[in-house]
Amino acid sequence: MRYAYYPGCSLHSTSREYDSSMRAVAKVLGVELKEVEGWFCCGSTAAHAASRLLSTALPLANLASVRRMGLSDVLVPCPACLSRFKTALHRVDEEPAMAEDVAGIVQGDYAVQVRHPLQAFSAPGMLEAIALRAHLRPEPRRVVCYYGCLLTRPPEVAQFDDVENPQSMDAVLRAAGYETLDWPAKTDCCGASLALTEKEVVLRLCHGILRAAKDAGAQALAVACPLCQVNLDTRQEEVERLYGERLSLPILYFTQLLGLAMGLPAQDLMLQKHFVAPDFTRKEVAHHA
């Protein structure tokens, strides 16, 4: 399978480990990723508060680049970007006036199927492929899957998974041998869009999520969003200080967890980049699928 791949700004800076583990896992699963040529920022998380037209045109211009590469499917690992791409496509579909405005700004066709890698990894046949490749059993392995806001909301735009109780990440990680727990904060907001401006709000929201994960008995929290990861990981010490609780909950990308179970090399997973140190041991399993 061959996809265009739009990493987005975060995966080239604060979340290089998401990019690197994504590429490594995709390779193992036979998913070919072609980085979008000359891509630029989709405008998230700010352009939508500055101009409706700008926040529609920036993503669509990037999708036009995908078409120019001769591809019509793109994987977008950052849900903040993903949401902007899907919103832009939804908008030009629903609003003829917007489509007309965009036509004067973005050259070329931008009709591209936009998906999150979780969607590709949980597609028919892929869970079996993951189970087959996950030959190691990492410990600890009790995890909660945190989906955050924008993977599934709003549902008519996201068109993916259950909006209040999504399951795709759970299915993907279970296929790799992890035990995923039920918990109530799967789609709560961590406040990432306020990360640089309203710290008090962010610490409170992060605390709610981290606390719920601990109460469910999680040994690690799995994420699919670079903004959530940075927020929950780098702010965790401040949360602990403010609330007088010890949390020490490693926040890992689902791709890092997959890579651990697949025995991928440390330089692809870059676990050392996290503030809360993930400490895993792994042993060979006969076959758990």
Q: How far is the CB of 16 from another protein (least distance, A)?
A: 8
Q: How far is the CB of 117 from another protein (least distance, A)?
A: 20
Q: How far is the CB of 38 from another protein (least distance, A)?
A: 5
Binding site for another protein (CB under 8 A): 9-10, 12-16, 38-41, 43, 45-54, 57-58, 61, 83, 94-95, 101, 104-106, 149-150, 153-155, 163, 188-189, 191-194, 196-201, 205, 230, 234-235, 238, 272-275
> By C-alpha distance, which of 90, 87, 85, 84 is closest to 74?
85
> By C-alpha distance, which of 13, 105, 119 is closest to 64?
105
**Closer Cβ to another protein, 38 or 124, answer by number:** 38
**Closer Cβ to another protein, 158 or 218, answer by number:** 158
Q: How far is the CB of 61 from another protein (least distance, A)?
A: 5
Who's near 97: CB < 8 A, 6+ residues apart? none
**Closer Cβ to another protein, 153 or 174, answer by number:** 153
**Closer Cβ to another protein, 45 or 255, answer by number:** 45
β-pairing, 136-139 with 281-284? Answer: antiparallel
| Residue 288 CB neighbours (<10 A) | 13
Residues linked to residue 62 through DSSP beta bridges, in sequence order: none
CA dist 95 and 20 (Å) reads 38
> By C-alpha distance, which of 27, 172, 160 is closest to 90?
160
- 17: helix, coil or strand? helix
**Closer Cβ to another protein, 67 or 273, answer by number:** 273
**Closer Cβ to another protein, 128 or 237, answer by number:** 237
Query: What angle (nearest 5°) sits at the alpha carbon of residue 119, between those of residues 117 and 123?
Result: 120
**Closer Cβ to another protein, 131 or 163, answer by number:** 163
CA dist 86 and 59 (Å) reads 9
**Closer Cβ to another protein, 47 or 76, answer by number:** 47
| Residue 281 CB neighbours (<10 A) | 10
Q: How far is the CB of 250 from another protein (least distance, A)?
A: 14
CA dist 38 and 16 (Å) reads 18
DSSP 8-class letter at 236: H
Q: In Å, how far are 82, 161, 164 from 154, measured between CA atoms?
A: 12, 11, 11
Residues linked to residue 3 through DSSP beta bridges, in sequence order: 33
24 and 277 in contact (C-beta within 8 Å)?
no
Q: How far is the CB of 41 from another protein (least distance, A)?
A: 5
Q: How far is the CB of 158 from another protein (least distance, A)?
A: 9
Q: How far is the CB of 71 from another protein (least distance, A)?
A: 17
